[in-house]
A and B are shown apart, each in its own frame.
Chain A
Amino acid sequence: MFVWFHKLASPPFFYRFADKLAPWLGWMSLLVILAGLYGGLWLSPPDYQQGDGFRIIYVHVPSAWISMMAYMVMATAAAIGLIWRMKLAHAVSAAAAPLGASFTFLALVTGSLWGKPMWGTYWVWDARLTSELILLFLYLGYIALNHAFEDRRTGDRASAILAIVGAVNVPIIHFSVNWWNTLHQGPTVFFGPKAEMPPSMYIPLFIMMFGFMLFFAAFMLKRLQVEVLQRERNTAWVRDLVGQP
């Protein structure tokens, strides 16, 4: 097991591994997301207050969740890359950043589309919206720094520091923004006697979250393959692979 894990850090081995795994994850995510959508759009009842408008949560909540998870993936991989000087870990950070930024953007867009009929406006300076917006800025800063250096390795390590500083800061930002202003609906209780959501609503939501996670994993692997190819473009195995002398 450990040996296999060790081998996974080698770019050519990883490339072939990702090549096999990514399509499986991709097709699985499509199936799971379709199942979740069917559950969410047809099987679950309309909300007693929000009517059918609430159904956007089946996209909104998983996106917001992935947007935060991607940041943790990025920062953890950055720390691993700095400490153990693993090339692949830096590639993971670099691949996670644009994906995380996209999901953050998606969460913001779906949230504001939901906000128009529910709150009467596309944007309010509510705590969670603002946190999510700042998260988008953090991603953009990371991407900007990662690409600012001519030497790829320096860019990786410099932006890794930024990702770690950002990860330390994220709880403080979240807390301070909460203290500043909150309007967002509170967390919904799923289980137990005080459950606010029937199973017909939360089961599709969980299926969607799982589907989004699979989608994220599949695209992570694909992006990672591209990152690995770019970083290793001067090595023999990449030349063999693309059929260039």
Chain B
Amino acid sequence: MKFTALIERDLRLAYRRRGELATPVIFFVIVTALFPLALNPDPALLRTLAPGVIWVAALLAVLIGQDSLFKTDYEDGSLELMLLSPITLEWIVLLRVFTHWLVTGLPLVILSLLIALLLDYPMQAVGALILSLFLGTPILSFLGAVGASLTVGLRRGVMLLPILVLPLTVPVLIFGAAAAGRAAVGDPVAAPLYFLGAMLMLAITLAPFAIAAGLRISLES
């Protein structure tokens, strides 16, 4: 009951500032569109680069989007009330990251279909690309949330967050881009997808504790 109320609040707030939430997705689309301009529009080249380009752009878009995760609640004091509420903070942040992914990560995963088309990514492999992003972007959301919880009280947190979190996202990038890249040339993709799934489970179980601890420190100061 209380949990649904929390999700409902987050979704309603997200709906009311939908313009702000759309920015990571727009960023994703624009960044991927820059690559053909910078390299050259040869379809064969774009096809080989597509998995990496899509994955790096998704990674950056998700991380930049996480900056807003706790910002407004920190500024208006809601976060302190959440800390005092009878529901443990770990549950609250888990739900928050989940709803935030629902409104920023999921649209990005769906839009990657369009980007795949633009970059001439083979259409028969697009299922694996979508699945890799579907499993991978929530992990990035959790890692980004760890960074967001630590930098929420800082003014220059926007630039700091990617510096803190990017090295930690390397495994996600490797397995995600490997799944998408292997699918494109018709290789089996089970292994990297399994790894992504395992890391997602690890992120769901461990990250909320780190995020909650980070928020407690940020609120104390």
Residue ranges of A at the interface with B (Cβ–Cβ < 8 Å):
82, 134, 137-138, 140-141, 144-145, 148-149, 151, 153-154, 157-159, 161-162, 164-166, 168-169, 172-173, 175-177, 179-180
CB-defined contacts of B167 to chain A, threshold 8 Å: 134, 137-138, 141, 166, 173
Q: Is B166 an interface residue (CB 8 A)?
A: yes
1/0 per residue B151-187: CB within 8 Å of A? Answer: 1011010001001111110110011001000000000
Asked if residues A141 and B178 are in contact (CB atoms below 8 Å), the reply is no
Closest to A169 in B: B168
Can you name 11 A-B residue pairings with CB atoms under 8 Å? Answer: A138-B168, A140-B163, A148-B151, A158-B214, A162-B150, A165-B168, A166-B167, A172-B202, A175-B171, A176-B174, A176-B175
Closest to A138 in B: B167
Asked if residues B164 and A162 are in contact (CB atoms below 8 Å), the reply is yes
Q: Is B42 an interface residue (CB 8 A)?
A: no
**Which single member of B168, B195, B213, B220 contacts A166 (CB below 8 Å)?**
B168
CB-defined contacts of A138 to chain B, threshold 8 Å: 167-168
Cβ distance A149 to chain B, nearest Cβ, rounded Å: 7
Asked if residues B217 and A158 are in contact (CB atoms below 8 Å), the reply is yes
A145, B156: Cα distance in complex, Å: 11
CB-defined contacts of B171 to chain A, threshold 8 Å: 169, 172-173, 175-177
Closest to A130 in B: B170
A165, B139: Cα distance in complex, Å: 14
Q: Is the interface of A mostly helix, strand, loop or mixed?
A: helix
The winner among B146, B150, B195, B202 for most chain A CB atoms within 10 A is B150
CB-defined contacts of A157 to chain B, threshold 8 Å: 217
Asked if residues A158 and B174 are in contact (CB atoms below 8 Å), the reply is no
| Interface Cβ pair total, 8 Å cutoff | 79
Asked if residues A149 and B154 are in contact (CB atoms below 8 Å), the reply is yes
**Which single member of A134, A149, A168 contacts B221 (CB below 8 Å)?**
A149
Asked if residues B146 and A148 are in contact (CB atoms below 8 Å), the reply is no
Asked if residues A144 and B168 are in contact (CB atoms below 8 Å), the reply is no
CB-defined contacts of B178 to chain A, threshold 8 Å: 180
Cβ distance A43 to chain B, nearest Cβ, rounded Å: 40
Closest to B162 in A: A141
Cβ distance A128 to chain B, nearest Cβ, rounded Å: 14
Provided the pairs A134-B167, A138-B167, A144-B160 are in contact, do residues A161 and B206 lie with their beta carbons within 8 angstroms?
no
- Excluding A145-B164, A159-B150, A179-B174, 16 further A-B contacts by CB distance (< 8 Å) are A134-B170, A137-B166, A137-B167, A138-B167, A140-B163, A144-B164, A148-B151, A149-B154, A149-B221, A154-B218, A154-B220, A161-B210, A166-B167, A173-B170, A175-B171, A176-B174
1/0 per residue B178-207: CB within 8 Å of A? Answer: 100000000000000001000100100010
Closest to A140 in B: B163
CB-defined contacts of A158 to chain B, threshold 8 Å: 150, 214, 217-218
Closest to B202 in A: A172
A29, B217: Cα distance in complex, Å: 39
CB-defined contacts of B154 to chain A, threshold 8 Å: 148-149
List the 4 closest A-B pairs by CB distance, nearest first: A176-B171, A154-B221, A137-B167, A141-B164
CB-defined contacts of A169 to chain B, threshold 8 Å: 168, 171
**Which single member of A144, A153, A161, A177 contacts B174 (CB below 8 Å)?**
A177
**Which single member of B153, B163, B214 contacts A161 (CB below 8 Å)?**
B214
**Which single member of A141, A151, A172 contacts B163 (CB below 8 Å)?**
A141
Closest to A133 in B: B167
Closest to A176 in B: B171
Asked if residues B199 and A172 are in contact (CB atoms below 8 Å), the reply is yes
CB-defined contacts of A168 to chain B, threshold 8 Å: 206
